[in-house]
Chain A
Amino acid sequence: MPVTEPHGDSYSAHPDRPVVERVPARWLFTAVGHLAGAALLAMVAAQGTVVLLRAVFGISLPAVQDLAVYLHAAAILLGLSVALIRDAHVRIAVRSVQSHKTDLIGSLFLTVPFGVLLAILALPYAQRSWLVGEGSADPDGLGGVYVIKALIVVGSVLLVVAGIAKAIANGRALTPRR
C-alpha cells in the first residue's frame, strides 16, 4: 500500500508526491512530529478515560477533559508545520508532479506572511492571558489556558521556519547543480 507506508523518515501523504527535495532543519520537524504525535495519542487516551468513567461510573473529570482539549490543540498547532514539511496539506493538483517554482513563491508569499501575522497578533494575546494567569471556563477545570495561547505563538513561529525551510529546499531544487 504505497499511501499507507512511510517514505523513509517521513510519512508522506501522496504516492504521486514523493518528497524530492532535501529540507533543511529536517531534524527539528522530525522532533516536533514526534512531540505532536505523542500529544495526539495522549489525547485519545485522556478522552477515552473521561468517556469510559463517565459512562460506567457517572464520574466526571473536568480536569482530564480539559487536558484532552489542550493536547488536541497542541497537536494541531505543532502539526501545522510538520504537515507542511511532509507535504501533507491538500493541494488542487493539476499536474501530478509539484512545481518547485510554485512551492518557492507560495512558501515566501503565502505561508510565511500568514505565520508572521499570526505570531505578531498572538504574542500580545498570549501575554495578556499569561499575565492574568487565565484559568479554565469550568472552575473545576485544569486551568492554565495561557499555555495553549502561548503555543499559538510557538506553532506560528514553527510554521514560519517550516515555510522558509521549504522555500530554501525548492530554491535549491531549481538551481542547477554545479
Chain B
Amino acid sequence: MLADLLDIAMFATLCGLLLLGYPVAFTLAGTALIFAALGALTGVFDLVLLHALPQRVFGIITNEILLAIPLFIFMGVLLERSDIARSLLASLTKALRGARGGTGVAVVLVGALLAASTGIVGATVVTLTMLAVPSLLARGYPPALTGGLVAASGTLGQVIPPSIVLIILAEQIGNAAQQASQSNPLAGLAPVSVGDLFAGALIPGLVLAALYALYVWWRSPTEASLTPEETENGDSLVQSLVAPLGLIFAVLGSVLAGLATPTEAASLGALGALMLAGLRCSPADPFIRLAFIAMLGLAVFILFAAGTTQSVALVLAIALTALLMAGLVTSGLVLARADILWPSVQRSLEITAMIFAIVIAASLFVLVFRGLGGDALVSGLLEIVPGGTMGAVLVVMLVMFVMGFFLDFLEIMFIVVPLAAPVLLQMPMPDGSPMNPVWLAVLIAVNLQTSFLTPPFGFALFYLRGSLSAETSKQISAAVLHRGVVPFVVIQLLVLVLLWLMPMLATWLPGVIYR
C-alpha cells in the first residue's frame, strides 16, 4: 500500500527539497535516485529502467535542434556585454520623450526587443533593472509600478520568439504529440516543429507586450523632463535601433519563412551579434565595416541567385564570403582584446551547462516517476476531471499556475508536459476536431511566464532585487515589488483567457505560413 504512494511522495519530496535552495538540476536528479532506490527496495521499481539513462544523455546532448540553445545564448550574452541594450534604451527614451508614459513604454519596447534578440530572462531583467529603474524613479513613476514593469518586461523573452524556452517546449510537445498519435492513431494530430511554435507564439507575445504598454501608459505619471545629460547621451536612434532590429528580423524571419532551421538561424544570429559587438568596440575598423557590406551582398545573392552556375556570380560570392569571414575573425580579435570575448564564452558555457543539466535531470526524474506508476496516476486524474477536454486542460493550466509560485518554467515544463500533454492531446475538442498542439503549447508558454513573476519564488523578482542599487533597493522592497507585479500577472491571465476564447491567436499564423 505504502509503495503505491511513492509517486506522490516523490513529487512532494521534490517540492520540499527544492525549497532548501540547492541547485535545481541536482535536486531533481538526486530525488529521482532516492525514490528509485526506495521503489526497488519495496519492489515497485525495476532498476533496469535506469539503464536508459546514458542513452538519454547522449540523445539530449547530440540533439541538433537543441544545438540552437548555446548559439542563442552566445548571441544574447554578446549583445548584453557590448552595451547594445543600453544604447537601445537610451535612444528609445529620447525618441519617446514628452509623450505620456514615454519612458515606461520605452521599457516595454526594449524588453520586447531584447526578448526577441536574447530570450534569456535573467540577462534581460538585470540589464533593464540597472538601466531603467533609476530613470523611471527619477521621472516620478511609483516604486511598485516601476518594479512590476521592469520585471514583467524582462520576462517577455519567454513568449516572444526566438526563445530558448519555446525551442525546448516544441521538442516536448512534439514528442508528446508523437506519443499520442502512436497510442491513438485516430486523433489526427499534426507534427509540431520549432517553427510552428515560433509562429504560434508571435501574435500572443505581441498582444501581451501591447497590453503591458497600454497599462503603463494609463498608469504613468506626468513625467519629469530629461536631464541635459540624458538628452546628450545615447547614439542616434537609427544607429542603435536598426542594427539589433535587423538582426532580429534576419533570425526570426529566416525561421518563419522556412529558409533556415532554428539552429541555422541561431548560428547566423551568433555570427551577426559577433560583428555588431565588434563594430561597437571598434567602430572605424575597415574589415568589420566591409564585412557588413559583404553580408548584405551575400543576403541578396542567397535570395536571388542561389544555385547559380554563372562564374561571375560565383567568383563574386566567394569574394564576399572571404570578406565576411575576415570581418568575423577581426571582430573576434577586437572583442578578445577588449576582454569581452572570453568572459562571454565562459558565461555562455555556464548558462548552457545549467540548462542542459536541468534537461538531463528532469528526464531522469520523469523516467523514475513513470517507473513508479506516476503516469497512470496523472492520466487517471485527468480522465476523472469533470468537463471533458476543456475541464482537463483547465485543471492542467491551474496546476501549472500554482506550481509557478514555487518552481520555474523549465522544471514545470519538463515534469508536466511529458506526463500530461500526451493524455490531453488524445482528447478531442468540444466540436470533435483534434486538439491543436500549437495552441496547447502557447497556452503553456504564456501560463508559465507567470512563474517568473509570482512570489515568493519568481526568478525575475530575484534577479531584479539582486541588481538594485542600495538606495533604489530601499524604495523597491520585496513587498512593494510583489504588489507591483500583480497587475502584470493579471494581464498575463487576461491573455490566457483571450487564447482560450480565440485559439486563432495562436493557430492562425502557423496555418498561414506552413500550409
Contacts and interface: CB of A to CB of B under 8 A. Distances in A.
A109 to B, nearest CB: 6
B183 interface: no
B61 A73 contact: yes
Contacts of B267: 44, 47-48, 50-51
Interface in B1-36: 17-27, 29-31, 33-34
B401 interface: no
A152 B57 CA distance: 8
B181 interface: no
A149 B54 contact: yes
A115 to B, nearest CB: 9
Interface stretch (B89-97, B110-118, B184-192, B341-349): B341-349
A89 B342 contact: no
Given A4-B81, A57-B317, A40 B357 contact: no
B347 A11 contact: yes
Interface string A22-53: 00000000000100110011011001101111
B466 A89 contact: no
A92 B53 contact: no
B298 interface: yes
A148 B64 CA distance: 15
Nearest to B126: A3
A89 B23 contact: yes
B67 interface: yes
A125 B191 CA distance: 31
B282 interface: no
Interface string A50-85: 111111111000000000111011011101101110
A88 interface: yes
A33 B466 CA distance: 26
A148 B58 contact: yes
A88 B361 contact: no
B509 to A, nearest CB: 24
A75 B26 CA distance: 19
Interface residues of B, number: 83
A117 to B, nearest CB: 6
Q: Which of A6, A55, A70, A77 has the most CB of B within 10 A?
A: A55
A106 B342 CA distance: 31
Interface string A86-97: 101111111110
A15 interface: yes
A44 B58 CA distance: 20
B71 interface: yes
B457 interface: yes
Contact of B27 (A88, A96, A110, A113): A110
Contacts of A148: 58, 61-62
A88 B354 contact: yes
B54 A75 contact: no
Q: Which of B50, B350, B462 has the most CB of A within 10 A?
A: B350
A2 interface: yes
B331 to A, nearest CB: 12
Contacts of B18: 92
Majority SS at the chain A contact face: helix
Contact of B357 (A43, A48, A89): A89
A118 interface: yes
B74 interface: yes
B47 to A, nearest CB: 10
Interface string B452-469: 000011010010011100
Contacts of B459: 90
Given A44-B74, A94-B19, A83 B33 contact: no
A169 to B, nearest CB: 15
Contact of B321 (A52, A91, A93): A52
A32 B278 CA distance: 27
A178 to B, nearest CB: 28
B324 interface: yes
B271 interface: yes
A79 B57 contact: no
A121 interface: yes
Contacts of A86: 350
A20 interface: no
19 contacts: A1-B127, A2-B467, A3-B467, A36-B349, A51-B267, A55-B264, A57-B314, A58-B307, A72-B70, A82-B349, A89-B23, A92-B24, A92-B457, A94-B456, A99-B21, A110-B31, A121-B50, A122-B54, A125-B55
Given A79-B350, A92-B18, A122-B53, 10 more contacts: A55-B298, A55-B302, A56-B306, A72-B61, A89-B26, A90-B459, A94-B456, A96-B465, A99-B20, A110-B27
Interface of A: 1-6, 11, 13-16, 33, 36-37, 40-41, 43-44, 47-48, 50-58, 68-70, 72-73, 75-77, 79-80, 82-84, 86, 88-96, 98-99, 102-103, 105-106, 109-111, 113-114, 117-118, 121-122, 125-126, 148-149, 152
The 9 A-B pairs with the shortest beta carbon distances in the complex, nearest first, are A110-B30, A79-B353, A106-B22, A89-B23, A88-B350, A125-B54, A73-B61, A114-B29, A83-B353
